[in-house]
Amino acid sequence: MALSKDLVAASATPLILSILTRGESYGYAIIKEVHALSGGQMQWTDGMLYPVLHRLEKQKLIASEARKADNGRMRKYYRIKDQGSKALQEHKQQWTAVYTTLKQVWEANPCFS
Amino acid sequence: MFQLDNAIENWRNSLLDNQNVQDTDVDELESHLRDEIDSLMLSGLNEEEAFMISSHRMGDQQDVGQEFAKVNPSLAWRRRAFWMFFGILISMLVSSIASICSQGSAALLTWLNVSVYKSGVASILIHIGVFVVLLFAVVFGVGLFAKSMKSKLSMSMALVFCMIAIFMLKVSSFAINVLQVKILHPEAVGQLYLASRYSIFAWNILWPIIVVTMMFILWRSKPQRVR
Nearest CA in chain A to B67: A51
User: pLDDT tens digits for B93-146?
Assistant: 888 898 899 888 888 888 888 887 788 888 888 988 998 899 888 888 777 776
CA gap B220, B44 in Å, rounded: 51
Residues of A with CB under 8 A from a CB of B: 26-28, 31, 45-48, 50-52, 54-55, 58, 69, 71, 73-76
The pLDDT tens digits of the residues spanning A55-84 come to 999 999 999 998 888 888 889 999 999 999
Q: Is-contact B194 B122, C-beta < 8 A?
A: no
- ∠ CA A9-B30-A84, nearest 5°, is 40
Residues 6+ apart with CB under 8 A from B146: B226
In this complex, is the C-beta atom of B29 within 8 Å of any C-beta atom belonging to chain A?
Answer: yes
Pinpoint the alpha helices (H) of B43-115: 47-58, 61-71, 75-111
**In the structure, what pLDDT confidence band is assigned to residue B219 with cuts at 50, 70 and 90?**
confident
Contacts of residue B28 in chain A, CB cutoff 8 Å? 27, 50, 76
The verdict on a CB contact (< 8 Å) between B31 and A76 is yes
User: Is B63 part of the contact surface with chain A (CB cutoff 8 Å)?
Assistant: yes
**Residue B68 touches partner A, C-beta closer than 8 Å:** yes
User: Is 0.95 exceeded by the ipTM?
Assistant: no
